Structure 1
C-alpha cells in the first residue's frame, strides 16, 4: 500500500507540474506572437497579404487572426481543452453545412477580373506623372496612338495586344501622356486593306484629344524599351529637334534605291509637322509623329485620297511617293536617323537597337522569325 500511495503522490505532482508549466507559458507565447506574425500552422504569415488589400487574402488573414486569439487568450482554461475545442468542431460543421447553399452565389471569375483591373489602376496611379518632364511639349499635349483590328500578322502572337497595351500605358502614365487605343475596323472601306486605316485613326486622335499638340503613331510590333525617355528631350522640343534632323540625307525609294532627292539643309523647324525615319528599304511608317496644324490635316486627307489608295498597295509606298515627288510637302517633314524613333530588332549601328534607344520595332519578323531572335 505504501508503494502504491507513493506512486499516486508522484502522479499527482507530475500532473500539477505540467498544468503549471502550460499556464505559465501562455503569456510567453502571447508576447512572442506580438513580435512574430504567426498563422497557427508553424510558419510566418506572408507579408504580401498585409501589403496588398486583396479581398480574398484579407478574409483569410482575418480568419487566421481569429484562430490566434482563441489559442492565446489567457481566459481559456488550458487544463480543460475539451471545452475549447467543442465549439470549434460545431462551428466547422456549420460551415460545411452552409457551403452548398452559398456556392451558387459565388462568381469567382468576375471578382478576379475586377481585382486585376483594380491592381492595374493602382499601379498606373502610383507611377502617374512621376517622370516630371521639364521640356515642352509634355503631359496631355502628347498622345500615343495604338490602332488595330486584331487581324493580320498581329494575330500571330498570343496576347500581343495585352502586352503592348500594358507597355504603352505604363510609359504614358509615367510621363503623363495620353494613351489611346482605336479599333481601326471602324474605318474600313470596301477595297482598302487595313493598313490604310491608320490615317483616319490619326485624324480621329486629334479630334477626340483637343489638347494634343502631337500624336505618336506606333505599329503593334513595337515595344518601348527605355520608358524613362520622354519625347520632348528625344526629338519634339525645337531646340532638340535642331540636333536630331538628318540634314542632307538622301531619301530612298520604296525599294531602297536612291531617289536622287535629299533632305534640305535649310529646314525651318517651326514648319516641321511630321517626323519620320527611313530604314534600309526606304521610309518606314511604323513610328511617326504628327503635329497639330492645318498642314497635317490637309496632308492626312491627301495621303488617303482614292487616287493613292488605288495606285499603291499600302500607305507606306504612297507616303514614299508623295514625299519624293513634292518638295513643298518635304519642307514640313523632319527626317531623323532611324534609331531615334524606329530602331529594329537586328541591324548595324544605324538600324539595330542598342541600349538606350527608346524602342525596338520587330519589323519583318513575321516573315523571317529566326532573323529577329531578340
Structure 2
C-alpha cells in the first residue's frame, strides 16, 4: 500500500496517562504525604517494638500496694487473716517491711490470701499467684522478695543488692554441689553458676528448701517458673508440705529451674528463731546482726506457740536498729 494511504499516527492515550501519573507522583504534596507516611510507620514500629525505661502509664494502685510503682525491688508478704486471726501481727509486720523499703527505695505489696482462689491445696499456696500479681503491678521491677508473714527484717541497714545479689557477692555466697533435699538427694546444686545468670535465690534448712524467704528476678523465666510451681497437678498431689515439697519436686526434675537457682547460707536471709532450732542448719539460728528472723509455724497453739508474743519483742529490736 502506498505510504500516503496510511492513516496518520495518533498519540497513545496511555502515554498521556503515564505522564500525568509521573507528574502526580512528583508533586510537592505527594512528597510531603509520602514522607509523613514513612515517619508515621517508623513511629508505630518504635512504639510496638522499641524499649522504654518506663511503662506508658503507672500501674493502678490496689490495696496493699505501697512505694513507687517504678521501684526496682518489691517486697511481697501475703497476709492470712484466718491463720493469724487471734494475733494482731499484721500491723507491725507491715510496718517492718514499709520502714525497710523506704530506707532503700523499695516498694511493698501486702495482698490477702483471700484474694486468690486456691481450688486445690491450702491457703499457703497463695504466695505463688501473689508474686505473679505483683509482677503485673510492678512490671518495671527487677527483683521480688517474698517474705513470709512470720518473718521480720532485723538488720534494716542491709540492702538485698549489696548483701546478696551483687554478682561477686552472690558468687561468694552460693552453696554448690550439695543435695537439694538433704542428706542424700542425688540432685545437687550446680557448681560454676555465674551470679548474673541466677534468677532464683533461696536457702535450705535441715529438711530441704525453705520457701519462707526467697528472691526471684522478674522476666519470662520467672513467669514460667511460677506457673509451673502453681500447676494444678502439684496442688492436687497431696504433698505433705504442700508448696514446699512441690518446689523441691520441680527443682529436682526440671533442669531449666535448677540451672537458675542459687542456694545461699541460711543466716544470709532466713535465720530461724530458737524455737525452730531443730530444723535449722548449723549456721541457721538467729543471732544479732542477721538480716532476717523466721518464726516458722508460730501460730500453732497446739504446740504452745503464739506469733504475737514471739514476734513483738523482735519487732521492737528491729525498730531500735533502724534509729
- Where does residue 243 of structure 2 map in the other structure? 315
- Where does residue 336 of structure 1 map in the other structure? 264
1:223 aligns with 2:152: yes
- The answer to whether the 8 A contact 2:251-2:258 is kept is yes
CA distance in 2, matches of 1:292, 1:191: 26
- Where does residue 232 of structure 1 map in the other structure? 161
Could you say which structure has the higher helix fraction? 1
- Where does residue 209 of structure 2 map in the other structure? 283
DSSP-derived class of the 2:214 partner: strand
Task: Report the CA distance shift for 1:370/1:192 in structure 2 as closer, same or farther (over 3 A).
Answer: closer
1:187 aligns with 2:120: no
- Where does residue 110 of structure 1 map in the other structure? none
Instruction: Give 1:283 shift.
Output: 0.8
- Where does residue 293 of structure 2 map in the other structure? 360
CA distance in 1, matches of 2:191, 2:282: 24
- Where does residue 78 of structure 2 map in the other structure? 147
* Structure of higher RCO (CA pairs closer than 8 Å, 6+ residues apart): 2
CA distance in 1, matches of 2:176, 2:153: 26
1:351 counterpart (271, 284, 291): 284
DSSP-derived class of the 1:311 partner: coil
DSSP-derived class of the 2:76 partner: strand
1:301 aligns with 2:227: yes
Deviation string, structure 1 residues 60-99 (Cα, Å, up to 9, x no partner): xxxxxxxxxxxxxxxxxxxxxxxxxxxxxxxxxxxxxxxx
Rg comparison, structure with higher value: 1
Deviation string, structure 1 residues 176-214 (Cα, Å, up to 9, x no partner): 110111122121133332111211100111110122100
State the TM-score, normalized to the length of structure 1.
0.59
Q: CA RMSD in A?
A: 2.2
DSSP-derived class of the 2:71 partner: helix
CA distance in 2, matches of 1:316, 1:166: 27
DSSP-derived class of the 1:366 partner: coil
Task: Report the CA distance shift for 1:189/1:364 in structure 2 as closer, same or farther (over 3 A).
Answer: closer
Which ranges of 4 or more aligned residues in structure 1 deviate by more than 3 Å?
A: 364-374
Instruction: Describe how 1:45-64 pairs up with structure 2 within 5 A.
Output: none
- Where does residue 45 of structure 1 map in the other structure? none
- The answer to whether the 8 A contact 2:75-2:146 is kept is yes
1:266 aligns with 2:266: no
Instruction: Give 1:349 shift.
Output: 4.3
Instruction: Give 1:295 shift.
Output: 0.8
- Where does residue 89 of structure 2 map in the other structure? 160
Deviation string, structure 1 residues 102-149 (Cα, Å, up to 9, x no partner): xxxxxxxxxxxxxxxxxxxxxxxxxx99xxxxxxxxx92000011123
- The answer to whether the 8 A contact 1:312-1:318 is kept is no
Contiguous gaps of at least 5 residues in structure 1: 1-127, 130-138
Instruction: Give 1:289 shift.
Output: 0.5
CA distance in 1, matches of 2:273, 2:244: 20
- The answer to whether the 8 A contact 1:148-1:184 is kept is yes
